[in-house]
Amino acid sequence: MDHSIMIICEQSEGRILPVTYELLACAARIGGFYNSSITAVLPGNTPDTDAISGADLLVINSPGLAEYTAEGWEKAALLAAGELKPNIIIIAHTSTGYDYAPRVAALLDGSCITSVSGIELSDGSIRYRRSGFHGKLDMLYKEGKQPLVITVLPGAFPAYDQQAAPGMVRYMNADIQPVHTSNVHFSISDQSNTELEHAEVVIAAGKGIGKAENLELIREMAACFNRSAIAGSRVACDNGWLEYNAQVGLTGKKVSPQLYVACGISGSMQHIAGMKDSKTVVSINRDPDAAIFKNSDICIIEDLEKFIPAFIREAEKHHEGRV
């Protein structure tokens, strides 16, 4: 085997996180094609680590790797790459991954494809699929200079069989100290919003509502339903129309109500990540090409300033028994 794939485990305080098994699944698909050896790399400061299923594990240990820094992780990645000579490096597209993965690619002078959502095998080579243009288009990439660093979207690959035989564990003691980064600490967000978390119907506002006053339309629409709550896209929260505890998406809340109504939301992958498990999705958008329509059960191509009042009138008619 002269083709080698290296994945970098996603971890928290030395504990390997489940998304790592999605990286392994992705590696297995690519590895099946090139007949590659697959090694997982764990940067950290953990003297005892359990083996993982389906791949050998190389633990890069250093006191300077006790917590994540881009600097520390890139040094660990470079060290491991020197050892494993990977053709492909796979990293999770998380807030950690997208912080350091492009740096690793640059330092190894390889290629880089971020937020990969799928892999296509055809006529003797591999294409990497990712989304762009506000989610409207998908792009198929071909690798270039090696190594190729890819970051994989969480959820894009079903996790690798954790029952597979565990691989070997090897330790490498390193002396990695971040020199440009200091005083690292974390805070856990306390953005609870029980109304939104328990709602059966979520009416969500995007930048397309245009102005704060139009939030009234969203509220009135929500009032047409039982157990409803209002929410918003990141831009709606950035604009100060809604509190951040009402943001749905990758960096906001994940919701899965019976009904999700997206009003003036374009449908970027980061927003979809927070609402894709909703039972029924309705979208109101004036752009017929908006990506949100690809993720909707019912599509309404309309100006929301006209459509929402019409819908409210309709609901009132039924409420008053006029139909």
* 12 sits near another protein (criterion: CB under 8 A): no
* 234 sits near ligand FAD (criterion: CB under 6 A): yes
Closer of 179 and 298 to ligand FAD (Cβ):
298
Strands 125-132, 137-142: pairing kind = antiparallel
> Would you say 259 and 244 are in contact if contact means Cβ atoms under 8 Å apart?
no
Closer of 45 and 94 to another protein (Cβ):
94
* 181 sits near another protein (criterion: CB under 8 A): yes
Determine the Cα–Cα distance for residues 275 and 227; give it in Å rounded to an integer: 17
Closer of 30 and 221 to ligand FAD (Cβ):
221
Residue 211 contact among another protein, ligand FAD, none, beta carbon within 5 to 8 Å by kind: none
Here the tokens at position 258 are 């019976």
> Considering the complex, what minimum distance in angstroms separates the CB of residue 274 from another protein?
10
Closer of 268 and 278 to ligand FAD (Cβ):
268
Kindly give, in sequence order, each residue whose CB lies less than 8 Å from that of residue 82, ignoring residues fewer than 6 positions away. none
| Contact string (CB under 6 A) for ligand FAD, positions 273-292, x = contact | -x---------xxxx--x--
Kindly give, in sequence order, each residue whose CB lies less than 8 Å from that of residue 278, ignoring residues fewer than 6 positions away. 202, 255, 256, 257, 258, 259, 260
Site size toward ligand FAD, by CB under 6 A: 30
Here the tokens at position 56 are 């050998």
Here the tokens at position 3 are 């083709």
Using the rule CB under 8 A, give the single segment among 46-54, 55-63, 157-165, 249-257 that binds another protein.
249-257
* 53 sits near ligand FAD (criterion: CB under 6 A): no
* 72 sits near ligand FAD (criterion: CB under 6 A): no
Half-sphere exposure of 160 (CA within 13 A, CB side): 24
Closer of 81 and 231 to ligand FAD (Cβ):
231
Kindly give, in sequence order, each residue whose CB lies less than 8 Å from that of residue 237, ignoring residues fewer than 6 positions away. 243, 244, 246, 247, 252
Considering only CA atoms, which of 136, 137, 117 is closest in space to residue 127? 117
Residues 168-227 that bind ligand FAD (CB under 6 A): 206-208, 210
Summarize as ranges the residues that interact with ligand FAD (CB under 6 A): 134, 206-208, 210, 233-236, 247-252, 264-266, 268, 270-271, 274, 284-287, 290, 303-305
